[in-house]
């Protein structure tokens, strides 16, 4: 009997489905606009240091988290504030007004059983609920949480936060994004504690509203690292419910002491309650232009795309953008193609730290933590697909300069809005050096 053909269709989280429906071809974006300057604790409990990507709802409102700011927790916790979830509302069409920031929630810290210091992108479901993780707070071990933030029944009311799960001392919450499937299950990654090299977990929703979510540990990476270590960057899911992700490290590569990393598939069991199975679908080498230490992976069509922090054209710290094409049969391997190998000595920057997004024309975008040119600290980077037989074409969409912000800062991954703008955040930056939300528009 012929081997099963492996055709894959994306199971996007509901939050990314909302966003994907809004994607349009990005024009030659060159003008940067600051939508909000964060002020931190000094001004009305505002947030500080937004370090993760944003998410947009169908109305064009933006949601995100700040690592710090908000309020001080009791007993000296959260010296710079425990962090916030915020919303930015666009001005009325044609009004030329400012975006309006609202702090939806200020975290309290573990003395109240709450989380603190959210540092992962949010996901958004069809009902408008937001889901995310904190790296601290929760139970007595201060190991982080998974939380849900629900909108008010009437406009202007307070949002309601619920801690869905508090991690224990050996399973540390990470800053990776969550994935939510169409059954409402939430999936996440932990990068590893004292007993393993990371894990993949599921939170199953209660059968009735207000009930307890059920934590299921799906897979633990062995401590030897041969099957991957330190999963990060979030998960992708295919139509069969199998999960895919990036392990930043592993012990199966001679370039770099911590390993080169790999892309894994976690195969769903065929029977209820069975074991999930880890399969390595690509092992990075870090040599001959290949990448190492992948950041993330996501489906576009039936192929997986992502970035690596290191490896690439000329040195250890340059990075790549790659594609993994699925095999025609189970017996064949996935095929890796390096779409672009960064070279820090040229004019396009290097060191991607986030994954990629696509517009309708097939151009992909990411952000680079090492910009090129006088005073350029970081770049928004575009890679355009080739004509037949040609190479992909690189372009810097926008370069963030020292003159704009001062100091070294983080540029989050970017998203599209309903039109053709790119939106993201920097930390620090802005007039109070607490970070900004920006738009780069054509």
SS3 string, the chain, reads CCCCECCCCEECCHHHHHHHCCCCCCCCCCEEEEEEECCHHHCCCCEECCCCCCEECCCCCEEEEECEECCCCHHHCCCCCCCEEEEEECCCCCCCCCCEEEEEEECCCHHHCCEEEECCCCEECCCCCEEEEEEEECCCCCCCEEEEEECCCCCCCCCEEEEEEECCCCCCCCCCCCEECCCCCEEEEECCCCCCCCEEEEEECCCCCCCCCEEEEEEECCCCCCCCEEEEEEEEEECCCCEEEEEEECCCCCCCCCCCCEEEEEECCCCCCCCCEEEEEEECCCCCCCEEEEEEEEEECCEEEEEEEEECCCCCECCEEEEEECCCECCCCCEEEEEEECCCCCCCCEEECCCCEECCCCCEEEEEEECCCCCEEEEEEEEECCCCCCCCEEEEEEEEEHHHHCCCCEECCCEECCCCCEEEEEECCCCCCCCEEEEEEC
Is the full-model pTM beyond 0.95?
no
Determine, yes or no, domain membership for 278: yes
Q: Supply the pLDDT for residue 13.
A: 35
Determine, yes or no, domain membership for 189: no
Band of residue 195 on the pLDDT scale cut at 50, 70, 90: low
Q: Which residues of 184-212 are buried (b: 16+ CB within 10 A; e: fewer)?
A: ebbbbbbbbbeebbbbbbbbebeeeeeee
Determine, yes or no, domain membership for 321: yes
How far is the C-alpha of 241 from the C-alpha of 243, rounded, in Å? 6
pLDDT in tens, 202-243: 999 998 888 999 999 999 988 877 788 889 899 999 999 999
How far is the C-alpha of 321 from the C-alpha of 310, rounded, in Å? 10
Band of residue 254 on the pLDDT scale cut at 50, 70, 90: low
Determine, yes or no, domain membership for 432: no
Q: List Cα–Cα distances, 412 to 113, 119, 151, 416, in angstroms.
A: 29, 11, 25, 13
Determine, yes or no, domain membership for 335: yes
Q: What backbone phi and psi angles, to 5 degrees, belong to 412?
A: -70, 175
Q: Supply the pLDDT for residue 20.
A: 32
Q: What number is the average pLDDT over the span 233-258?
A: 84
Is the pLDDT assigned to residue 10 strictly greater than 50? no
What is the tally of structural domains in the chain? Answer: 1
List the Cα angle 189/14/237 in 5-degree steps: 50
Determine, yes or no, domain membership for 216: no
Weakest-pLDDT range from 98-107, 246-255, 412-421: 246-255
- Dihedral angle computed from the Cα positions of residues 244, 248, 251 and 254, in that order, rounded to the nearest 10 degrees: 120
Is the pLDDT assigned to residue 372 strictly greater than 50? yes
Determine, yes or no, domain membership for 267: yes
pLDDT in tens, 296-312: 999 999 999 999 999 88
Residues 381/319, Cβ–Cβ less than 8 Å: no
Is the pLDDT assigned to residue 385 strictly greater than 70? yes
Q: What's the domain range around 260?
A: 223-353
260 closest CA partner among 215, 206, 175, 320: 320
Determine, yes or no, domain membership for 338: yes
CA 369 from chain centre, in angstroms, equals 15
Instruction: Please tell me which residue, 329 or 95, carries the higher pLDDT value.
Output: 329
Is the pLDDT assigned to residue 5 strictly greater than 50? no
């Amino acid at each position: 009997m012929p081997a099963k053909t492996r055709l894959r269709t994306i199971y996007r989280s509901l939050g990314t489905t909302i966003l994907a429906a809004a994607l349009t071809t990005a024009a030659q974006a060159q003008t940067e606009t600051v939508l909000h300057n964060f002020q931190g604790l000094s001004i009305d409990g505002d947030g500080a240091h937004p370090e993760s990507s944003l998410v947009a709802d169908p109305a064009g409102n933006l949601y995100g988290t700040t690592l710090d700011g908000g309020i001080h927790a009791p007993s000296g916790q959260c010296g710079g504030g425990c962090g916030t979830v915020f919303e930015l509302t666009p001005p009325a069409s044609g009004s030329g007004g400012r975006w309006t920031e609202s702090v939806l929630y200020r975290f309290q810290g573990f003395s109240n059983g709450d989380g603190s210091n959210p540092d992962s992108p949010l996901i958004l479901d069809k009902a408008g609920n937001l889901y995310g993780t904190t790296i601290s707070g929760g139970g007595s071990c201060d190991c982080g949480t998974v939380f849900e933030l629900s909108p008010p029944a009437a406009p202007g009311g307070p949002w309601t936060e619920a801690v869905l799960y508090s991690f224990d001392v050996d399973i540390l919450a990470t800053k990776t994004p969550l994935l939510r499937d169409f059954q409402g299950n939430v999936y996440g990654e932990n990068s590893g504690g004292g007993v393993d090299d990371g894990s993949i977990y599921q939170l199953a929703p209660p059968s009735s509203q207000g009930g307890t979510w059920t934590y299921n540990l799906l897979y633990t990476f062995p401590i030897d690292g041969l099957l991957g270590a330190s999963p990060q960057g979030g998960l992708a899911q295919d139509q069969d419910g199998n999960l895919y992700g990036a392990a930043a490290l592993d012990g199966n590569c001679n370039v770099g002491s911590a390993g080169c990393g790999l892309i894994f598939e976690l195969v769903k069991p065929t029977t209820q309650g069975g074991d999930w199975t880890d399969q390595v679908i690509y092992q990075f080498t870090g040599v001959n232009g290949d990448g190492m230490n992948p950041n993330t992976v996501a489906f576009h069509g039936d192929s997986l795309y992502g970035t690596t922090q290191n490896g690439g054209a000329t040195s250890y710290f340059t990075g790549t953008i790659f594609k993994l094409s699925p095999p025609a049969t189970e017996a064949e391997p996935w095929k890796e193609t390096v779409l672009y190998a960064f070279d820090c000595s040229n004019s396009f920057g290097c060191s991607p730290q986030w994954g990629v997004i696509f517009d309708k024309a097939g151009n992909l975008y990411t952000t680079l933590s090492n910009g090129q040119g006088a005073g350029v600290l970081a770049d928004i980077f575009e890679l355009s697909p080739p004509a037949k037989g040609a190479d992909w074409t690189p372009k810097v969409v926008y370069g963030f300069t020292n003159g704009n912000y001062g100091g070294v800062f983080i540029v989050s991954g970017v998203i599209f809005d309903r039109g053709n703008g790119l939106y993201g955040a920097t930390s620090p930056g802005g007039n109070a050096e607490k970070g900004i939300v920006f738009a780069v528009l054509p």
